[in-house]
Amino acid sequence: MLKINCKPNRPEKSVQYLKKKTLDSKKLLIAADLIRKVRLFFGCPQFVLRNRKKGAAMSKKENKNSRRNFLKTVGAIGAGSMLTSVAPFASASDQNNSTNTNPITVPTRPFGKTGIHVSTLSLGGVLSESDQLVFRQAFKMGITYWDTANSYGWGNNEKAIGKYFARFPNDRKKIFLVTKGATSDPEKLSEKLNESLERMNTSYVDMYFIHYVADVKDELTQEVKAWAEKAKTKGKIRLFGFSAHKNMENSLLEAAKLGWIDGIMMSYNYRLMVKDEMKKAVDACAKAGIGLTAMKTQAAFSANFYATIGSETDDALKITESFLKKGYTAEQAKLKVVWENSNIASICSAMPNMTILQANIAAALNKTSLSSRDKQLLDQYARQTSSGYCAGCANICEPAVNCKVPISDLMRYSMYHNSYGDRDTAMALFNKLPADKKASILTTDYSKAEECCPQKIEIGNVLKNTYEAFT
């Protein structure tokens, strides 16, 4: 039985998962070396491996199962890392130290043609006020691009950042701070921005995004442009842009023509970056000088049938094993492949605990390039599992059902629920849907949408399960 004694910062899920797994063969000794490296990222003072069947003869089947279990375990950790970073965790005493003397930090890249350099790894996701050590460690390791939104954690993420700046006011000017508001109404934009500034204990943000833009022509109006210019003049924002979770390619192409968009954060990962439309869209933005931040780089599944890499298929296990032999987890490889595009200034990643933070930092510091074989493996995995991943091309499937059901949004809520384990956010977003849209979910015929879906998703089934999960 694998036993873990540790008190890392909230890796409960990984620990619970590990506790369920057994490693009961001679392979344990080999596994122990890999586990030891994983341990570094749990920051576990004690990490005890016990083989209760020690000495017992292992059958071939047991050995095979053991190897499979091990790969499943490491694959499921995902958050863990085979790469190691070089700095120790921030400690409680670091919280009283306002200087950062760490010489080895996450690299930076120019953010479009704005003249600003940002860290290639951006602190995203939802942190709470009790997560101050995560902010501290991120800062200490050079993660100076922090991303939030007015809505994250119902404002609590911004309050957590505000608490950090109250404690370390000198760090504010070293942080590239981004927040977002989901509206194109100038009056509401002002309200949301002011609320965000107050929560974060700051008089300005470095970049302000309109959140969830799906149609640039409709949402980035001349009124919005005037609002952004005024906010810049007042010194409340330095740069302006938007985030895009669906129809990303069209939005990027349209934004490149506008001439007043400084930055965009969009879904971008090993599944999407190989598509011709996405390549063209990213190139157009790069030429227009727009800074780009990739999000959703792990390309999580919409539904729970492919919940974790390494847990379902032999091919997935082979991919996990292949990366582990080279010293990466599959999750780290997914980050590295995105960084290979120099037009992507930064990856915004949810890093809710020290484990994930340290694993991502290790990937950012590592200078080894992925081989063409590594990329082939990712590509092969993307093709094999495409029917579990929604690519956000709402302009393809939603017209097929007369736009009665926001298919792409529902797929995203399902992903938050099934892959991120964030039922609260998923439910809150689902509950905001207009009643007529919700009512249409179960009565709509999705056959035409399924026919045209490039990912070949069983849309009807996924949405039925999503509806049942949230009602």
Under the binding rule (CB under 6 A), the answer on residue 274 touching ligand SF4 is no
> Does 244 interact with ligand SF4 (rule: CB under 6 A)?
no
Minimum distance from residue 251 beta carbon to ligand SF4 (Å): 14
- Candidates 56-64, 81-89, 113-121, 389-397: pick the segment binding ligand SF4 (CB under 6 A): 389-397
How far apart CA 160 and CA 363 sit, in angstroms, is 26
Residue 303 CB, nearest approach to ligand SF4 (Å): 11
Residue number with CB closer to ligand SF4 (2 or 449): 449
Q: Does residue 394 bind ligand SF4 (CB under 6 A)? A: yes
* Binding of ligand SF4 by 391 (CB under 6 A): yes
Q: Tell the smallest beta-carbon distance from residue 307 to ligand SF4 (Å).
A: 18
Q: Which residue, 90 or 281, is less far from ligand SF4 as judged by CB?
A: 281
Instruction: Show Cβ contacts of residue 329 under 8 Å, excluding neighbours closer than 6 positions.
Output: 74, 75, 77, 78, 80, 81, 82, 320, 323, 359
The candidate with the shortest Cα–Cα distance to 358, out of 138, 145, 161, 148, is: 138
Q: Is 118 in the site for ligand SF4 (CB under 6 A)?
A: no
Residue closer to ligand SF4, measured from CB, 308 or 455: 455
Among 2-10, 139-147, 254-262, 387-395, the segment contacting ligand SF4 (CB under 6 A):
387-395
Residues pairing with 117 in the sheet: 110
269, 299 contact by CB (below 8 A) = yes
Among 282, 303, 309, 397, interactor with ligand SF4 by CB under 6 A: 397
Q: Which helix (H) or strand (E) holds 119?
A: strand 117-119
Give percent helix, percent strand, percent coil of the chain, each to the nearest 5.
Answer: 50, 10, 40
Interior/surface letters 369-396, b for 16+ CB within 10 angstroms, e for the rest: ebeeebbebbeebbeebbbbbbbbbbeb
- Between 134 and 453, name the residue whose CB sits nearer to ligand SF4: 453
Site string for ligand SF4, 429-458 (x = CB under 6 A): ------------------------x-x-x-
Write b or e for each residue in 326-343: b if 16 or more Cβ atoms lie within 10 A of its Cβ, otherwise e.
ebbbbbbbbbbbbbeeeb
DSSP state of 445: -
Q: How far is the CB of 407 from ligand SF4 (least distance, A)?
A: 5
Residue among 58, 288, 396, 427 that touches ligand SF4 (CB under 6 A): 396
Q: What is the DSSP letter of 90?
A: P
* One of 407, 415, 426, 433 touching ligand SF4 (CB under 6 A): 407
Examine residue 319 and tell whether it contacts ligand SF4 (CB under 6 A). Answer: no
Contact yes or no for 66/25 (Cβ under 8 A): yes
Q: Is 21 exposed, middle or buried (0-12, 13-18, 19+ CB in 10 A)?
A: middle
User: CB of 426 within 8 A of CB of 465?
Assistant: no
Task: Tell me how far apart the alpha carbons of residues 122 and 359 are, in angstroms, rounded to a whole number.
Answer: 13
C-alpha neighbours within 13 Å on the C-beta side of residue 104: 11
Binding of residue 410 to ligand SF4 (CB under 6 A): no
Rounded to whole angstroms, the Cα distance separating 58 from 129 reads: 49
CB of 386 to ligand SF4, least distance (A): 9
- Count of residues in contact with ligand SF4, rule CB under 6 A: 14
Q: How far is it, in rounded angstroms, from Cα 87 to Cα 115?
A: 29
The span from the CA of 356 to the CA of 364, in Å, is: 12
Q: Would you count residue 38 as binding ligand SF4 (CB under 6 A)?
A: no
Our CB check for ligand SF4 shows the closer of 53 and 275 to be: 275
SS3 (DSSP) at 298? coil
3-class SS string, 14-47: HHHHHHHCCCCCCHHHHHHHHHHHHHHHHCCCCC
Minimum distance of ligand SF4 from residue 166's CB (angstroms) = 42
Min CB(404)–ligand SF4 separation in Å: 14
Stretch that binds ligand SF4, among 56-64, 237-245, 345-353, 406-414 (CB under 6 A): 406-414
SS3 237: strand
Residue 214 binds ligand SF4 (CB under 6 A): no
The reply to whether 247 sits near ligand SF4 by the rule CB under 6 A is no
392 forms part of the interface with ligand SF4 (CB under 6 A): yes
Q: For ligand SF4, which is the closer residue by CB, 145 or 446?
A: 446
Q: Does 390 bind ligand SF4 (CB under 6 A)?
A: yes
Q: Shortest gap between Cβ of 4 and ligand SF4 (angstroms)?
A: 38
User: Does 266 sit near ligand SF4 (CB under 6 A)?
Assistant: no
For residue 147, the tally of other CB atoms under 10 A from its CB is: 26
Min CB(297)–ligand SF4 separation in Å = 17
Complex with ligand SF4: residue 335 or 463, whichever CB lies closer: 463
Q: Which stretch binds ligand SF4 (CB under 6 A): 11-19, 156-164, 203-211, 403-411?
A: 403-411
465 binds ligand SF4 per the rule CB under 6 A: no
> Does residue 58 interact with ligand SF4 by CB under 6 A?
no
Select from 354, 355, 352, 336 the least CA-distant residue to 344: 336
Query: Which residues here bind ligand SF4, judged by CB under 6 A?
Result: 390-394, 396-397, 407-408, 411, 453, 455, 457, 459
